[in-house]
Amino acid sequence: MSAPREIPSSIPRVGLGWDLHRLAPGRPCILGGIRIASPVGPVGHSDADVLLHALCDALLGAAGLDDLGTLFPDTDPQWKDTPSTRFVEEALRLLETKGLHPLSLDAVLRCDRPKIRPHRSAIREQLAGLLSLPPDRVNLKGKTLEGSSSGPETIEAQVIVLLGEKDA
Ligand code: MG
């Protein structure tokens, strides 16, 4: 086997994150750090922000770091009901120690409820703020399940990010 190729540190790194939560009536619905009015919300140990969980895994994955579940286990009582913006801040801090920062983000939220379109701009703006990115470097699409699910109601997020060197 040959030695690993040397890749210049200025070459951007891509990261992919995915998450899924069950939806239940009466749960707060927080997506991308924005609380939105909805008859159902994601069930989870923290605030169950499926979009920010997928975002953290994309950031950590691109940087070659451990995933969200390893860094902030849902068996640890200190993370109970934690706002997921804290996980993003922590992921960004870890990236910073490696001299990396986000360059762009694209995301898909897949659910039948709530409708994403009315909240799309607010969530985009919030994500751009969290990552200190211009709004046109952050995007979000809402997709429905088209009645294809026969199981429990769920919400699913996919996030892809590009990371670059901080001083490049
Ligand atoms: Mg999660």
| pLDDT per residue as tens digits for the range 90-101 | 999 999 999 999
Domain assignment present for 8 = no
Give the pLDDT band of residue 20 (cuts 50, 70, 90): very high
Number of domains in the chain: 1
Q: Return the CATH number at 67.
A: 3.30.1330.50
Mean pLDDT along residues 142-160: 91
Q: Order across the sheet with 13-25: list the strands.
A: 40-42, 13-25, 154-165, 100-110, 138-143
CA of residue 4 to ligand 1 center, whole Å? 33
Please give the Cα distance from 65 to 42 (Å, whole number). Answer: 26
Of all residues in the chain, the percent with pLDDT exceeding 90 is 82
Looking at residue 78, the DSSP 8-state letter turns out to be: G
Q: Is residue 70 part of a domain?
A: yes
For the whole prediction, is pTM greater than 0.85? Answer: yes
Q: State residue 168's pLDDT score.
A: 66
The domain of 126 spans 13-165
pLDDT at 79: 78
For residue 9, the CA-to-ligand 1 centroid distance in Å is 30
Ligand 1: centre distance to CA 121 (Å) = 22
Ligand 1 is an ion; residues with CB less than 5 A from it:
19, 53
